[in-house]
Amino acid sequence: MSLDTPPSYADTPTLLIKIFGKDRPGITAGLFDTLAAYAVEVVDIEQLVTRGRITLNALVTSPSPAIATEGEVRATVHGWAESMKLEAEIISGTGDNKPRGTGRSHVTVLGHPLTAESTAAITASITSTGGNIDRIFRLAKYPVLAVEFDISGAETGALRTALALEGVRRGVDVAVMSSGLRRRARQLVVMDVDSTLIQDEVIELFAAYADCADEVAEVTARAMRGELDFAQSLRARVELLAGLDASVVEKVRRDVRLTPGARTLIRTLKRLGYQVGVVSGGFTQVTDPLQEELGLDFAAANTLEIVDGKLTGRLTGGIVDRAGKARLLRRFAAEAGLPLAQTVAIGDGANDLDMLNTAGLGVAFNAKPVVREAVDTSVNVPFLDTVLYLLGITREEVEAADGQDAGTLAAEERLRLGTGGQEDERTGGAVAGAPH
């Protein structure tokens, strides 16, 4: 048979061998060593271990009549399984799996917790769109339970619409992406800063030192009511900072708190060869140190004007607004040599919508309802590293990579659980310029 021609088992008698029991080393090798005596061909294998129990499925061709009968194979496999204190089931049939239906998608479900009721509703919605669940795989068990479903037979857009509605009803996050090589390709990830990469709104941190927090909040409220656009509201709020001593900049940097999981997200993406950037309606006086500290490839924000050691209440250069964020995403992608289809944008506010809808994947992170309704994917748990699961990266892969850095994982998990440490993303401590 030519290597260019895939083997066809359509009319070939086959045996589906299913092995169950307590997992231990050597089971898979033992089964196939037993089958080797009958010169069968392997058509398919799948193995899963859950709470120490193994489920091993092997689809093999039936033995040639010149070598043995199916009955002899059955007796041998059952005998081997009994000797290993395992259970075996053997089903005769013809051929391989049926071809998967057209329209293939990955569905990622994040639950905190994931209940049986919500799982039943999500899977019923998949079926209602004509989709078939081909495979289910747990990506992570903490800080949220993340499960991925491989789906065939349903159009991705219809599946996304149905599951988004069901996810909202059930209080779980559901992301639907088309299957394909692009998901595995190296990508560019661009994040908003305020209330996304960090837990704070930087203008509010400055306002606290200028003793004008209430006035800034009122301008923000006017913008949210539509009385001011972003540029107008930003200028109005910055004007309230006029006369503030420039030494406050360093204080604000120390006050900034990374969102839980931010370091893990960026560190993991960088290890995988992704490029990572931020765009912010905030200020370069804060984003520049973050870029250096976190090793970001790109950063853009507004710049506060400082003259004679004082904030003037004005900005220098152009304003990074809603349209500007989308333009910067395109620019970063061009500089990275990547198509927009291989970009991911993460943000929480209406000011991020153009960017979220320009990217290949837009993720609304703990976003306002108007933002969640306008994008395909949302994450509503307070851990930024859960975005990794949407990209098909498992928690085990993250931990294995962290294990290469002595002590990193243990330290971060102690902090996640609140058992030690004060200056890390998971406890909300100061980060800008902090040691790590």
Percent of the chain with pLDDT over 70: 88
Mean pLDDT over 234-246 rounds to 96
* pLDDT on residue 434: 34
Query: Mean pLDDT throughout 177-183?
Result: 74
Q: Which segments of 259-351 does DSSP mark as H helices, in order?
A: 262-271, 284-294, 322-336
Closest CA to 349 of 369, 323, 331: 369
Rounded to an integer, what is the distance from CA 378 to the centroid of its chain?
10
The confidence band for 143, taking pLDDT boundaries of 50, 70 and 90, is: confident
Alpha-carbon gap, residue 304 to 67, rounded angstroms? 82
Residue 288 has pLDDT above 90, yes or no: yes
Q: Is 205 a residue whose pLDDT tops 90? A: yes
Alpha carbons 373 and 185: distance in angstroms, whole number: 28
Looking at residue 401, what is its pLDDT?
79
187-212 mean pLDDT: 96
- Report, as an integer, the average pLDDT of 359-386: 90
Residues identified as active-site: 192, 194
* Cα separation, 296 vs 386, whole angstroms: 19
Q: What is the pLDDT of residue 181?
A: 62
Say how many residues make up the chain.
Answer: 436
Alpha helices in 302-394 (DSSP H): 322-336, 353-358, 369-372, 387-390
Residue 93 pLDDT greater than 90, yes or no: yes
Q: What is the pLDDT of residue 103?
A: 81
Residue 179: predicted pLDDT: 81
More confident site: 399 or 127:
127
Q: What is the pTM of this model?
A: 0.82
Q: Which range, 67-76, 211-220, 392-401, has the best average confidence (pLDDT)? A: 67-76
Q: Which residues, including other chains, have CB under 8 Å from residue 403's CB and lie 6 or more apart?
A: 409
Average pLDDT over residues 320-346: 96
Under the banding of pLDDT at 50, 70 and 90, the label for residue 429 is: very low
153, pLDDT greater than 50: yes
Range from 37-51, 92-106, 146-160 carrying the lowest mean pLDDT = 92-106
265 neighbors 335 (Cβ within 8 angstroms): no
